Amino acid sequence: MPNTAISEKKTRIYSIGEARSAARSLAASRSVREGKSLSFLPRLDSVARRLAAQPVGQQKFVQSQIRTLRKVLGPLAKVRMPLVVEGPCLGYLRVYELCSALCSPCDGILDESSLSAFISEYQTASALTVG
């Protein structure tokens, strides 16, 4: 007999009201400061170096993803991202805390309307900026 509590959680989607409430609460309870530059480019180099132990097909796939990331996200390497200065995500990028707050209660299952409601409501209390 399957565990229905687990099954229900995995298929649950944030309602628009729940998304707005969570965003409002998070925005009101956190402060951020100018953060650090994104440091993903050195990590991509590290991932590329570790690929030698992977099957050839996987190596090619990951290398193509790394090239795409460099092309698309490369200009953002100098952008300074806001950091959380209090709470359980102290020191993390604010975007990480937002994603965690949005995804945790619904096991990462999102729809466009609840995501849009969350972001819009968050910005009524605290503008989302980069740098």
Q: Provide DSSP, 28-66.
A: HH--EE--PBP-HHHHHHHHHHHGGGS-HHHHHHHHHHH
**Residue range 20-49, pLDDT digits in tens:** 888 888 888 878 887 765 566 677 777 777
pTM reported for the whole predicted model: 0.55
Kindly list the domain boundaries of the chain, sorted by start residue. 1-36+80-131, 38-79
The beta-strand segments (E) located in the chain are 32-33, 83-84
**Cα distance between residue 38 and residue 96, in whole Å:** 13
pLDDT for 78 equals 65
pLDDT for 37 equals 56
Q: Which of 69 and 3 is assigned the larger pLDDT?
A: 69
Per-residue pLDDT at 75 exceeds 50: yes
CB 128 within 8 A of CB 26: no
